[in-house]
Amino acid sequence: MDIDALLRDFGELTVTGLAQGAIYALFALGYTLVYGVLRLINFAHSEVFMVGTFAAVLTWRAFGLDQNSPVPPAAEAAGYLLVALVVAMLAAGLTALVVERVAYRPLRRRNAPVLAFLITAIGASVVLSEAAGVLTRRQVQPTPSLVRSTTVVQFGSTRVTTLQIVLVATALVMMAGLDLFVHRTRLGRGIRAVAQNPEVATLMGVNRDRVIRLVFLLGGLMAGVAALLYDLKIGNPKYNVGFDLGVKAFAAAVLGGIGNLRGALLGGLLLGVVENYGAALFGSNYINAVAFVVLVLALMFRPTGLLGESLGRARA
Amino acid sequence: MKRRLIRVLGGVLLTTVLASGAACGGGNSTGGGSDKCGLKLAFAGALTGSAANLGIHVRNGIKLAVDQYNAKHADCTVELKEVDTEGSPDKAPGLARQLVTDRKLIGIVGPLFSGESEAADPIFNEAGITVITASATRTSLSTKGWKVFHRAVANDDAQGPAAGNYIKTVLHPDKVFVVDDGSAYGAGLADAVKSVLGGLVTGTDKVAADGKQTDFSATVTKVKSSGATVLFYGGYYQNAGLLRRQLTEARWTGTLVGGDGVNDAGYVKAAGAAAAAGTILSCPCVPATQAKGTFVADYRAKYNEDPGLYGDVAFDATNIFLNGIDAGNTTNAKMLEYVNSVNYTGVANTYTFTDTGELDPSLIILWMFKVDHNGTVVPDQAAPRT
């Protein structure tokens, strides 16, 4: 154990951990929303994310940008980012809707048991990821650098770069927007109603199928944002990019309390930071093990996650 | 009555067919030149997955040699079997067991990586099938007592010190950070570098295997705060590319030095040319584009690209087997004897093997390569010996 390394670099480890955690948090929203409403773990969500990462890279490629392009000036880069953001969100959102339509709705119509949903979820995930693997010959997709990393703020020896601020700020803004949507709008009220009691909600005139579609769409859109941030921070997506990251995001959702939007944010950021601390203490090859040990420990003390499962509660 | 006759005739015919089949399959018959025909060589290595590029270069070299042989011997060809291990030590043994059931198999060029060699070579050894690897460089492979093992390139004991010496005498930094991916190959190389550099190493870290980790924030932080100006990475190109990109993003401007596992176009692709420029890569090889004879031209004509890492060595290794077949070594025992005592000059090097199957020490060649500003990997200089 290298406690010195942890103490010496504590600030920077925290900042870079938050940046990675922002991606987990946005990714985790898809799991949390769908679980909150349907009590279903949508394993295909990792592929929704994967489609988003590819969509953003392909968009940039269409503009003639590749991994060797120089970093464009800020205004131009912002344009590329915005276009790629819209494309990635649309692609991911659409994929989520298609998965819902093809893999889940037919089963729901027939009142299939929970286990059947689990299997179709895994099936949809494998189909999408393998299809992408075959189409891309399992190669990574090289990614241009669009944000010049300059130090913006400095606390002592800890520097915060543009990219890190973009990552965390985007996650916070998206999260706040989604929170407002769910708690303040008519459609959001529908989501909460179905999460709380599907039968009563239907009796009260809420269209359950529409709510479910909406939830998948929202999860997909957020995964699209996460995908863009991933391309900015790490890049080089390939067909199985969603797998490991999806497991982490799912863990983040459970850590924060699955079905709880703010929990996903907290869980994601916390997981990112804890991973970094663990990597500093034990070496980066323990990064995955440490994350899950912490998850298990946290769940032992708070079985429903740090903030509890709240989407369905009357006063959320 | 008639029907019974047909049955009897059929039975006789069937027995004859089976008997002749068994004779062919036995492979031990001492008959004439026809034994040479239909023999098989096999390539075992990654053709898909995160390290596929390395495998494809080697496979292409092998295929070129076999196709050239078959063009000359159209009436008596040799078949090439390609086995895709995805570079995984878990998949290699099963595939190796399938391979050795083929009685026509006379030699293996591979396995590509050290991990899968460790897993699969015992099976080839048991079956008595001669193995020449053109790329698996982990030192311990030659110390396991496998009679069939041969290595046509220098091992990590040579490559690690060469990289270490280059860092010391050409880059002469005050502080070096060493990272490896914990694989048989990566850790072996990193350990060799550490032992040459000694006190210059200010910090070390281990990362997860290729594909298991994409966020290297913690490693980047450690490298930066160590004050090192040179980072040695023991591992393969995909992780190295991501790591280099993230180091540059975090404004670490030092030099990354890697082994032959990083020496691939995939590294520059993942990192981007700007970040990759200046990277130093060691390799127990001469540049494949400097191979002798018509190899480079033939390769370009066939694959429409320049030969990649070890493609030339694989071409030579295959030709050793093909010459052996031509000389009438058509059983596994004879082939092993032939390769053990071979003295063959190919397009990349001259090959004779020691008792443990290593390339004769006097024949070891090591080069350092550099990534230039266009992202092209160009030969830098022959590696310093001390």
ipTM: 0.91
pLDDT tens for each residue of A169-214: 999 999 999 999 999 999 999 999 999 888 999 999 999 999 999 9
Position A24 pLDDT exceeds 50: yes
Interface test with B, best of A236, A238, A241 (most B CBs within 10 A): A236
Cβ neighbours for B185, distance < 8 A, ≥ 6 positions apart = B113, B114, B115, B136, B137, B138, B156, B234, B235, B236, B259, B261
Q: Which residue has the tokens 């520097």?
A: A159
Domain-located, residue A316 = no
Domain-located, residue A188 = yes
Kindly state the percentage of chain A with pLDDT values over 90: 74
Q: Which residue of A has its CA nearest to B275?
A: A68
pLDDT class for B25, splitting at 50, 70, 90?
Answer: very low
Position B167 pLDDT exceeds 90: yes
**Per the CB < 8 Å rule, is B49 touching A140?**
no
At B6 the pLDDT is 56
pTM for the structure as a whole: 0.81
pLDDT tens for each residue of B213-262: 999 999 999 999 999 999 999 999 999 999 999 999 998 999 999 998 89
> A43 lies in which domain range?
3-148+161-301
pLDDT class for A219, splitting at 50, 70, 90?
Answer: very high
pLDDT class for B338, splitting at 50, 70, 90?
Answer: very high
Position B305 pLDDT exceeds 60: yes
Interface test with A, best of B86, B207, B213, B214 (most A CBs within 10 A): B214
CATH assignment of B157-283+367-382, among 3.40.50.2300, 3.30.590.10, 3.40.50.300, 3.40.50.720: 3.40.50.2300
Position B381 pLDDT exceeds 70: yes
| Fold that domain B40-155+288-353 belongs to in CATH | Rossmann fold (3.40.50)
Domain-located, residue A262 = yes
Q: Which positions in chain B touch A144 (Cβ < 8 Å)?
A: 272
CATH of the domain at A132: 1.10.3470
Position A8 pLDDT exceeds 80: yes
Q: Give CATH 3.40.50.2300 domain extents, chain B.
A: 40-155+288-353, 157-283+367-382
Residue B230, classed as helix, strand or coil, is strand
Domain-located, residue A205 = yes
Domain-located, residue A214 = yes
Interface test with B, best of A69, A167, A244, A284 (most B CBs within 10 A): A284
**Per the CB < 8 Å rule, is B218 touching A275?**
yes
**Per the CB < 8 Å rule, is B220 touching A279?**
no
Q: How far is A296 from chain B (nearest CA, A)?
A: 21
Tally the C-alpha atoms within 13 A of residue B143's C-alpha that lie toward its C-beta.
6
Q: How far is A279 from chain B (nearest CA, A)?
A: 6
Domain-located, residue A178 = yes
pLDDT class for A313, splitting at 50, 70, 90?
Answer: low
pLDDT class for B284, splitting at 50, 70, 90?
Answer: confident
At B184 the pLDDT is 84
Q: Which positions in chain A touch B273 (Cβ < 8 Å)?
A: 67-68
Phi, psi angles (nearest 5°) of residue B29: -65, 145
Residue type, A309: E
Higher pLDDT, B17 or A185: A185
List residues of chain B with CB under 8 Å from any CB of chain A.
Answer: 48-50, 52, 181-182, 205-208, 211-222, 224-225, 238, 241-242, 245-246, 249-251, 266, 269-275, 374-375
pLDDT tens for each residue of A64-92: 999 988 889 989 999 999 999 999 999 99
Nearest in space to B108 (alpha carbons), one of B86, B133, B145, B138: B133
> What is d(CA B181, CA B236) in angstroms, rounded to the nearest whole number?
8
pLDDT tens for each residue of A87-111: 999 999 999 999 999 999 999 999 9
Nearest by CB to B49, which of A138, A144, A288?
A138
How far CA B285 is from CA of A87, B280, B339, B368, in Å, comes to: 45, 14, 20, 9
> What is d(CA A275, CA A215) in angstroms, rounded to the nearest whole number?
29
Domain-located, residue A154 = no
Kindly state the percentage of chain A with pLDDT values over 70: 98
**Per the CB < 8 Å rule, is A287 touching B221?**
no
Cβ(B66)–Cβ(B80) below 8 Å:
yes
Domain-located, residue A170 = yes
At B21 the pLDDT is 44
Tally the C-alpha atoms within 13 A of residue B264's C-alpha that lie toward its C-beta.
24
pLDDT tens for each residue of A224-269: 999 999 999 999 999 999 999 999 999 999 999 988 999 999 999 9
Position B28 pLDDT exceeds 50: no
Position B279 pLDDT exceeds 70: yes
Domains identified in chain A, total number: 1
> What is d(CA B195, CA B188) in angstroms, rounded to the nearest whole number?
11
Position B32 pLDDT exceeds 50: no
List residues of chain A with CB under 8 Å from any CB of chain B.
Answer: 5, 8-9, 12-13, 16-17, 19-20, 67-68, 70, 137-140, 142-145, 149, 151, 157, 161, 163, 233-236, 238, 240-241, 244-245, 275-276, 279-280, 283-285, 287-288
At B10 the pLDDT is 52
**Per the CB < 8 Å rule, is B222 touching A9?**
yes
